[in-house]
Amino acid sequence: MHSLMVIIDGLGDDPIPQFGGKTPFEFASHPNIDKLLERGTYSEISICGNDFAAESLGCILRLLGVEQKDFPLNRAYLELLANGRDISEYEMVLRCNLASVDAEGRLVSFNAMGLTPDEMAKAAAICNELWQGIEFMHLSEYRNLLILDNDPQILHNCKIAPPHESMGQNFDELLSDLKNKSLLLKTFIEETTAKLKPFARNGVSYRIYPWGASERKVLPSFESLHNIRGAAVCKAEIVRGIARALNMPAPVLPGTTADIDTDISAKTGQTLQFLQDYDFVLAHFNGSDEAAHRYDYNGKADFIARIDKEFIGAVLQNVKQPLKILICGDHVTSCVTGKHSAGKVPVVAAEINSDDNAPEIGAYHDIHKFLMGASD
Ligand SMILES: [Zn+2]
């Protein structure tokens, strides 16, 4: 029997006072999920528990049955894969934000606030001008990657705080350990600082912030893990990177974004097509997480309602074969705090066009047993 895993990113949440104490999932209208629950099961579990950070990277790898020992060090390597590049074991990759700094040298934005996306691309192009030993790869807006020779000091022995958690702190102090341990990166940071001066305005200047060093990590393929063939329908970079690392096809679909404005029906169409050829399909929706980071509980609830109507409803209407369906979150993203946490997320399990009933999901192992036929 084929299986469909639907991950609604950051589906877990806190009670919202404006929703009478309900979470966005509880408040949202989802008649098709309710229909699944007439014979299916509902539970709430924590995917990451205390084992690792409440981030999509680890939580989605775990949902797909990858063991923690096989997780990459952090997401930069998967972002590289998502963009069609790979590195050798002799190289490493760092995330590299275009950040802004005030006249006192304090970090005032991690995302090049004040520049247009076009200006950010121009700034990235300037940083990419033929550098001996460093490749500067522009992803989107303020996000870039740096590829350079593998340096164990930087990978395993260097303190670089994530820029989004370091607002108001002194820029040079934040990067001092990195600059002490790599002359190449020190020179690169200083020379790009000079080259980016023309973008300065209103007392704010723009600088690059390398962090999150990552190295090559070969993951087992989805097929070798479960003896079934899997495909993914997703737009968020980290999930596309995961799909590539597990050797699952994950085509780029026009009209899809990693936010609440995504074309859900484009994802539905691709999912229905994949369900004919693959034993297992992962469909991932990222907008719920983005809305929660913006404290937008209405946006999150509306997006869940749209997924119910345009995705789940369409699947129920179009699939005539027996199908196992599991709908879950990867972690909590609270519309109250705007942050991730390791709390419990809703899990819906159901079988359609079948006489069997889905089991109660009490832990992530039960998901693998149900969808991938794992013995334990
Ligand atoms: Zn998030």
pLDDT digits over 42-91, tens only? Answer: 999 999 999 999 999 999 999 999 999 999 988 899 999 999 999 999 99
Do 354 and 285 lie in one domain? The reply is yes
Q: Is 71 exposed, middle or buried (0-12, 13-18, 19+ CB in 10 A)?
A: middle
What CATH number has the domain bearing residue 364?
3.40.720.10
Do 205 and 235 lie in one domain? The reply is no
Query: Is the confidence at residue 147, as pLDDT, over 80?
Result: yes
End residue of a domain, out of 184, 215, 246: 215
User: In this structure, is residue 76 part of a structural domain?
Assistant: no
Q: What is the pLDDT of residue 376?
A: 46
End residue of a domain, out of 161, 196, 215: 215
Looking at the DSSP assignment, which residues form a beta bridge with residue 143? 97, 140
What is the CA(186)–ligand 1 centre distance, in A? 30
Query: Is the confidence at residue 128, as pLDDT, over 90?
Result: no
Whose tokens are 């539905």? That residue is: 268
Do 192 and 254 lie in one domain? The reply is no
Query: Is the confidence at residue 31, as pLDDT, over 70?
Result: yes
What is the CA(49)–ligand 1 centre distance, in A? 17
What is the CA(201)–ligand 1 centre distance, in A? 30
d(CA 47, CA 66): 13
Do 338 and 225 lie in one domain? The reply is yes
What is the CA(56)–ligand 1 centre distance, in A? 7
Q: What is the pTM of this model?
A: 0.90
pLDDT digits over 250-275, tens only? Answer: 999 999 999 999 999 999 999 999 99
End residue of a domain, out of 215, 244, 272: 215
Q: What is the pLDDT of residue 242?
A: 97
Q: Residue 185 — very low, low, confident or very high, per pLDDT cuts 50/70/90?
A: very high
Whose tokens are 């919202």? That residue is: 16
d(CA 368, CA 296): 32
What is the domain count for the chain? Answer: 2
User: In this structure, is residue 156 part of a structural domain?
Assistant: yes
Amino acid making up residue 336: V
d(CA 26, CA 20): 10
What is the CA(198)–ligand 1 centre distance, in A? 33
Q: Look at residue 144 and give its three-state secondary structure.
A: strand
Do 199 and 94 lie in one domain? The reply is yes
Do 295 and 158 lie in one domain? The reply is no
> Which residues are in the CB-under-5-Å shell of ion ligand 1?
289
What is the CA(292)–ligand 1 centre distance, in A? 8
Domain containing residue 317: 2-71+220-372
Q: Where are the beta strands (DSSP E) in 253-376?
A: 280-285, 323-328, 332-333, 340-341, 345-352
Is 293:286 a contact under the CB 8 Å cutoff?
no
pLDDT digits over 289-333, tens only? Answer: 999 999 999 999 999 999 999 999 999 999 999 999 999 999 999
Largest CA distance in the chain: 68
Do 37 and 90 lie in one domain? The reply is no
Do 346 and 253 lie in one domain? The reply is yes
Q: Residue 214 — very low, low, confident or very high, per pLDDT cuts 50/70/90?
A: very high
Do 98 and 6 lie in one domain? The reply is no
Mean pLDDT of the chain: 95
Cβ partners under 8 Å of residue 368, min gap 6: 65, 226, 374
d(CA 248, CA 233): 10
Do 230 and 329 lie in one domain? The reply is yes
Residue 197, both tokens: 């001066």
Q: Residue 375 — very low, low, confident or very high, per pLDDT cuts 50/70/90?
A: low
Cα dihedral 364, 370, 373, 376 sign: positive
What is the CA(341)–ligand 1 centre distance, in A? 10
User: In this structure, is residue 270 part of a structural domain?
Assistant: yes
User: In this structure, is residue 225 part of a structural domain?
Assistant: yes
Do 92 and 209 lie in one domain? The reply is yes
User: In this structure, is residue 124 part of a structural domain?
Assistant: yes
Query: Is the confidence at residue 130, as pLDDT, over 70?
Result: no
Q: What is the pLDDT of residue 74?
A: 83
What is the CA(195)–ligand 1 centre distance, in A? 32
What is the CA(291)–ligand 1 centre distance, in A? 9
Do 96 and 58 lie in one domain? The reply is no
Kindly state the DSSP code that residue 55 receives in the 8-state scheme. S
